[in-house]
A = this chain, B = another copy of it.
Amino acid sequence: MNFENYFPLWNDLNIAQKKIISDNLITRDVKKGTIIHNGNLDCTGLLLVKSGQLRTYILSDEGREITLYRLFDMDICLLSASCIIRSIQFEVTIEAEKDTDLWIIPAEIYKDIMKESAPVANYTNELMATRFSDVMWLIEQIMWKSLDKRVASFLLEETSIEGTNELKITHETIANHLGSHREVITRMLRYFQGEGLVKLSRGKITILDSKRLETLQKS
């Protein structure tokens, strides 16, 4: 598969726009753990995930994290090009959660096309609305759902992403995803273990009863 097949807007571009994107397109392979975008310091451009997994999160002054959303194969990342929209006045960090292959449309190139093309501007609207919706979902989780349900949701999401019931993940990492503290997550996971929902071992959490985790998540 090449870029044309991945980029949903390709057929809405005129010949000049196709050429300028093709001529300036960057391919980049990043290793797991690489920080791809770091707040307003970078304005990398629009990222197209060919394969891999990215995590977008915010960071407090004290170094606490909370995951906003993840991006998977064929997803497009707009906030890595936040400089193209003046009114985006917040900073996110984007890191590769797995080895990831990317295409990058440089910010200036995309911005120029977006200014003149209604389809590109409208597509950008849809992209932003999708991320905005992810964040609104997160607010509802934080405000109305208690932590036991959020941990249950997170474990179920991870088993779905990884395709396995044996999650290689630390309590610290879960805390960073959920904006919580390691000690709090450990206590919750031990409670889950006591209830027979999971089994904890060094660096690994095994899901024993996903049915009951689902019930807990919804309750």
Contact = CB atoms under 8 A, between A and B. Distances in A.
Interface string A113-127: 011111011101111
Contact of A143 (B60, B127, B140): B60
Contacts of A62: 144
A202 interface: no
Most chain B Cβ neighbours within 10 Å, of A121, A130, A131: A121
Interface in A66-101: 66, 85-90
Contact of A138 (B125, B130, B133, B139): B139
A132 interface: yes
Contacts of A124: 121, 125
A179 B145 CA distance: 12
Contacts of A23: none
Contact of A116 (B118, B126, B136, B140): B118
Contact of A66 (B120, B126, B139): B139
A13 interface: no
A85 to B, nearest CB: 5
A130 B87 contact: yes
A85 B136 contact: no
25 contacts: A58-B136, A58-B143, A60-B144, A64-B143, A85-B126, A86-B126, A87-B125, A87-B133, A88-B132, A90-B132, A90-B133, A90-B136, A90-B137, A114-B118, A115-B118, A118-B118, A118-B121, A121-B122, A121-B125, A125-B125, A125-B128, A128-B129, A132-B132, A138-B139, A139-B139
